[in-house]
Amino acid sequence: MAPPEAAAAMTRCGSCAAFGKLARERGLGRHLHHPQPASRLLRRRPVLLLSRGRSIGYYATEQITRDELTGLMAGDGELEQLSHELEAMGGAAADAAQVLGEEVQEPGIPRRPAPGERAAMTVRVGVIGTGMMGGDHIRRISQVLSGGAVTAVSDADSGRAAQVAAGLPGARVHPAGQELITDSAVDAVVVTSWGPAHEQYVLAAIAAGKPVFCEKPLATTAEACQRIVAAEQAAGRRLVQVGFMRRYDAGYRALKAAVAAGEIGPPLLMHCVHRNAAVPPYGFTTEMMISDSAVHEIDLVRWLFGEEVAAVRVLKPRRSSRGAAGLHDPLLVVLETAGGILVDVEVFVNATYGYDIRGEIVGEHGTVALADGGRTVLKHGGRRGDAVPADWRERFGAAFDTELQDWLTSVAAGRCTGPGSWDGLAATVIAQACHQALHSGHRTEVALPARPEFYARPGGPA
Ligand code: NAD
Ligand code: ISE
């Protein structure tokens, strides 16, 4: 265990946050002190200075000299200059170099593994927003999945955060999400606050160089999503995963595989049903039926068919009397892909009887659909039936598990593989076009900007 002053020296000099701050003040950008990706450095030499913020925060296991430290930044004059300045700051770099052989371990916080222990790594997760989804993700990270531990929580409702933390040994409660993000006991961040607050936390996580899993929507406006996409590109590596969990659902994956294998021929149409038992009587707007609910189908269409959505229409059937006044429930959303596939989505958020999700793709010589029904069939009193899930936690429980496990595993490996901020931006742009179509009643073309090379590799599981 390093003495506290040594740990402080390491934090000052070795952490991405401190380095990044200095680099930003000098107008050098955020991650310039890593002249090469961490993985390449790892392969090249056994003794490394890797910053916590840069990826998953390995500490070097052997001592490293000041010259070696400077050498890691060699090849870039500005960086070398920066490192000399750091050395001039009371020899902090040299001090840090001397203590890098030690591990810093804080009480109640999982130990940071050395490079050789990569497989057994525990990703220390901070969760912002401890409501329904936050609580469910905390449960799965703590009790179901491997390789993660929740070490910090924050919520606008501090009482709720404290209550959740009480069930998590050693977890800290932060009054503000920004503080949680810069907490040295947090390697990666889960954002499960309400949508309008997503942007600020995702941007702060990118600034801190920490991977962030953000529940959908990435942000509520295209402009906010653009700011995230710009910040991530400036950071130089993908850090953001968006919670489009249906990509991890076994049923949807089977649909995608069937289409890809040509089993039904070229796809022509898709029929979707998205029914919630109910939504809160206050605060849930007609627009949210698209940006909060149908956004899942919007993402699916792009992922299933590998095509962008080019135009949209929104039709308004007679409204159900079950919804709050002003809520136009149900809606029929029609998405038209660039290749001419038409997808109709019935969104009905006060269907009363349960959570009902359906999907059928019609191809030139066959169809493929999600199977309907639960795991058991009850026959009683001359009738036959099965259970309808209550909500998404039940219907997509396994998909959420796979999604979050995949994220933890990727974070531990220093990668970001799931649906990313470009997918989040695309979904929000399409949802906004649907809002326009909802109000105009017209077919509306989607104006998605050109995908930057940075996001050329399609996100999400194969
Ligand atoms: P919720 O209302 O139950 O929880 C949200 C929590 O965020 C609350 O505890 C609230 O106090 C907190 N919060 C609000 N503003 C905050 C802020 N500025 N800073 C910190 N905390 C703040 O809502 P929920 O159902 O858990 O939804 C949370 C997110 O998850 C939303 O983005 C929602 O769209 C998403 N969601 C996704 C799915 C899915 O199927 N993937 C399902 C439900 C919800
Ligand atoms: C909720 O926010 C979700 O994301 C669910 O997956 C979706 O089915 C539901 O309609 C939304 O309200």
Q: Is 430 exposed, middle or buried (0-12, 13-18, 19+ CB in 10 A)?
A: buried
Least confident of 166-175, 365-374, 451-460: 451-460
Determine which residue's CA is closest to atom 19 belonging to ligand 1. Answer: 156
The 10s digit of each residue's pLDDT in 157-212 is: 999 999 999 999 999 999 999 999 999 999 999 999 999 999 999 999 999 999 99
* Ligand 1 interacting residues, C-beta cut-off 6 A: 128-134, 154-157, 160, 177, 192-195, 197, 215-216, 243, 245, 292, 392
Per-chain mean pLDDT for the chain: 80
Question: Are residues 2 and 99 in contact, defined by beta-carbon separation less than 8 angstroms?
Answer: yes
Q: Which atom of ligand 2 is nearest to the CA of 279?
A: 12
Stretch (H or E) spanning 362: strand 356-363
What's the 405 CA to ligand 1 centre distance in angstroms? 20
Domains plus CATH for the chain? 3-103 (no CATH), 123-245 (3.40.50.720), 257-395+420-453 (3.30.360.10)
Q: Based on the number of CB atoms within 10 Å of its own CB, is 285 exposed (0-12), middle (13-18) or buried (19 or more)?
A: middle
Q: 8 CB contacts (<8 Å, ≥6 apart)?
A: none
Are residues 333 and 312 in contact, defined by beta-carbon separation less than 8 angstroms?
yes
**387-441 residue pLDDT tens:** 899 999 999 999 999 999 999 999 999 989 899 999 999 999 999 999 999 999 9
- Determine the straight-line distance between the first and last CA of the chain, rounded to whole angstroms: 42
**Looking at the whole model, is its pTM more than 0.85?**
no
Q: What is the mean pLDDT of residues 303-307?
A: 96
The answer, yes or no, to whether residue 76 has pLDDT greater than 70, is no
The Å distance, Cα 276 to ligand 2 centre, comes to: 8
Whole-number Å distance between alpha carbons of 27 and 100: 28
pLDDT band at 121 (very low <50, low <70, confident <90, very high): confident
d(CA 18, CA 221): 31
- What b/e sequence results for 360-374 when a residue is b if at least 16 CB atoms lie within 10 Å of its CB, and e otherwise? ebbbeeebbbbeeee
28-64 per-position pLDDT tens digit: 433 323 333 333 333 333 223 333 222 222 223 233 4
**Cβ count near 194 (within 10 Å):** 14
Ligand 2 midpoint to CA 19 (Å): 40
Q: Report the C-alpha gap between 239 and 424 in whole angstroms.
A: 13
**How far is the centre of ligand 2, averaged over its atoms, from the C-alpha of 392 (Å)?**
7
Rg over alpha carbons for the chain, rounded to the nearest Å, is 24
Report the candidate in 413, 405, 418 with the shortest Cα–Cα distance to residue 143.
405
Neighbouring C-alpha atoms within 13 Å toward the C-beta of 64: 23
pLDDT of residue 376: 82
Q: What is the pLDDT of residues 17-31, one digit of tens each?
A: 444 454 455 544 333
CB-CB contact of 291 with 427 (8 Å): no
Which residue pairs, CB below 8 angstroms and at least 24 apart, start in 17-22?
Answer: 17/52, 17/53, 17/182, 17/208, 17/209, 19/51, 19/82, 19/86, 20/53, 20/207, 20/208, 20/209, 22/82, 22/85, 22/86
Q: How far apart are CA 28 and CA 39, in angstroms?
A: 22
Q: How far, in Å, is the centroid of ligand 2 from the Cα of 293? A: 5
* Nearest CA among 411, 430, 414, 428 for reference residue 188: 411
Tokens 């509520």 belong to residue? 220
CA–CA separation, 268 and 295 (whole Å): 21
pLDDT in tens, 403-414: 999 999 999 999
- Per the CB < 8 A criterion, the answer to whether 410 and 416 are in contact is yes
